[in-house]
Structure 1
Amino acid sequence: MRRLLPPALDVPDDALDRPWEPAELAGVYAYPQEHLHGQGWLRANMVTSVDGAAHHGGRSQPLSHPADMRIFGVLRALADVVIVGAETVRQERYRPARERAEFAARRAEAGQTPVAAIAVVSASLHLDFSLPLFTEPVVPTMLITGPAAPRHGLDAARAAGAEVITVGEGAEVDPLRVKAELVRRGYTRLLTEGGPRLLGAFAEAGALDELCLTTSPRYAVGTAGRVMSGPGIEVPRELELTSLLEESGFLFGRYRRV
């Protein structure tokens, strides 16, 4: 792996010829100190093909690479909570975060739980509560929904051991209030893995602080959507590219809000 931006002056001589260790990646992707200052820091991690597809056949894995999965694991290991949309849970058959020995001391020193909690955003609660995400988590899975969520779904979620959090009004879940409520509960290092509709809602609301984007040197053609979807914004918003890594033709960019 090589670092293209910013130029690295202290990279080991063999860094170009091997995958980077988790500790090296953790240094590149460390949360900025802003996460401690009341508002938290929400970053997204997504992958896209060179022709703009966020998935192939409904799943992101065909666009991925071992280096992408290493960064995926490190981002989870740094986060307090991973926020994900219900459709992504269904399509990807989501599993809970797993403990990683190499991050145990780091998380304990930071006052974090052994693994990141998973927070599923769903208005309809149309979910399979027999998934390991709900039955086998190290930290109880959270379910974020609106006040008009169906009673049978709420009952099923609680019976499965999920912690139910209600935000917003009516059937909708307010993305700004999702972020604020998680921060209020002490989750200041926030990570979302989409999907595109949830990420689009966070971005449109101005709640997104950072985008970690893997650009795959593959094209998918087809009709797959982009990494963000939604009704759109009046004027495109600017992000600043602060870090860029490369391995096997895959580009790993880190963009933050201006």
Structure 2
Amino acid sequence: MRQLIGADPGTPGGPGTLEWLAEAYAYPDGGRWLRANMVTSLDGAARLDGLSEGLSGEADKRIFGVLRALCDVVLVGAETVRAEGYRPGRARAEFAERRAAAGQLPAPVIAVVTRSLDLDLSAPLFTEPLVPTVVVTTVDAPPDRLARTAERADVITAGTGSVDLPRAVAALTERGWRRQLSEGGPRLLGQLAAEGLLDELCLSVAPLVTAGDSPRIVNGPQIPHVRPMRLVSLIEQKGFLFTRYLRATDPDRSPNDHDLTGDAS
């Protein structure tokens, strides 16, 4: 694993170790920070054969695990939960001391965003979580489904007709979960970007050309105001590129944020 752009954390063991990655992707101190982690092919596909798994590789999965281990809560859309067979967040011994020192739960909370509450409540995500799974839905969600869901998950209601993401993110933050991670899917990420909630994008680029009709990593109506981002880190392994982009208009909030060009655009 090679750091091509950005500061080397300089931890023992060098690039690619868990300690090195944990420092390279450390959350900034202070308030709420929402990062997204996505993977894409060279030609922009967010999925291969319907799943992101087909685009992933060893290093991508390693970084995926580190990003989860660093966050308080994973925000994910119900469609992605169903398609990818989501399981509960797990405690990792390598990060136990770090999480305890930061006042975090042993494992990240999984927060599922759904308007319809079309969820398999018998799945391990709801029957075997180390920390309770959260479901974020609307105030006017179907009452019978809402009651059943509340028996298996911690329910947050935000918005009528569709989930009010600013209110939902604020509710998660109020619970002390300020280190937030979205794993998509593309539709949820599009909504988060449109609402101006996205602080950081960690994008893995797989050395694959797939064609097909897979959606982009951000999918939905065009954002009214284009969100400029700036590259702060680039890591390479076996042809995979692992990028970090921060909001170009934000002040320097991240300890690993280095202005590489001097151009905010």
Task: State the TM-score bracket (shorter-chain normalisation).
Answer: over 0.9
Provide the rounded CA distance (Å) in 1 between the counterparts of 2:23 and 2:121.
36
Q: Confirm or deny that 1:23 pairs with 2:53.
A: no
Is the contact between residue 137 and residue 157 of structure 2 (CA under 8 Å) also seen in structure 1?
A: yes
Q: Confirm or deny that 1:213 pairs with 2:209.
A: no
Give the AA of the match of 2:184.
G
Provide the rounded CA distance (Å) in 2 between the counterparts of 1:149 and 1:165.
11
Alignment of 1:239-254 (within 5 A): 239-254=229-244
Q: Which of 100, 123, 141 is the equivalent residue of 1:149?
A: 141
Provide the rounded CA distance (Å) in 1 between the counterparts of 2:90 and 2:176.
20
Partner of 1:256: 246
Give the AA of the match of 1:108.
A
> Deviation of residue 153 (structure 1)?
1.4
> Deviation of residue 236 (structure 1)?
2.5
Partner of 2:123: 131
Partner of 1:167: 158
Query: Matched residue of 1:182: which SS?
Result: helix
Is the contact between residue 132 and residue 153 of structure 2 (CA under 8 Å) also seen in structure 1?
A: yes
Partner of 2:44: 52
CA RMSD of aligned residues (A): 1.5
Give the AA of the match of 2:169.
K
% identity of equivalent residues: 54
TM-score (norm 2): 0.90
Query: Matched residue of 2:166: which SS?
Result: helix
Alignment of 1:159-238 (within 5 A): 159=151, 161-168=152-159, 170-238=160-228
Query: Matched residue of 1:107: which SS?
Result: helix
> Deviation of residue 163 (structure 1)?
0.4
Query: Matched residue of 1:32: which SS?
Result: coil
Partner of 2:59: 67
Aligned length: 248
Give the AA of the match of 2:94.
E
Provide the rounded CA distance (Å) in 2 between the counterparts of 1:237 and 1:152.
39
Q: 1:247–1:236: structure 2 CA closer, same or farther, 3 Å change rule?
A: same
Query: Matched residue of 2:54: which SS?
Result: helix
Provide the rounded CA distance (Å) in 1 between the counterparts of 2:244 and 2:20.
15
Is the contact between residue 8 and residue 24 of structure 2 (CA under 8 Å) also seen in structure 1?
A: no
Give the AA of the match of 1:204.
A
Provide the rounded CA distance (Å) in 2 between the counterparts of 1:8 and 1:81.
26
Provide the rounded CA distance (Å) in 2 between the counterparts of 1:55 and 1:46.
10
Partner of 2:92: 100
Q: 1:7–1:110: structure 2 CA closer, same or farther, 3 Å change rule?
A: closer
Q: 1:10–1:197: structure 2 CA closer, same or farther, 3 Å change rule?
A: same
> Deviation of residue 197 (structure 1)?
0.5
Q: 1:150–1:110: structure 2 CA closer, same or farther, 3 Å change rule?
A: same
Q: 1:229–1:9: structure 2 CA closer, same or farther, 3 Å change rule?
A: closer
Is the contact between residue 83 and residue 119 of structure 1 (CA under 8 Å) also seen in structure 2?
A: yes
Provide the rounded CA distance (Å) in 2 between the counterparts of 1:68 and 1:208.
21
Greater shift in the superposed pair: 184-193 or 231-240: 231-240
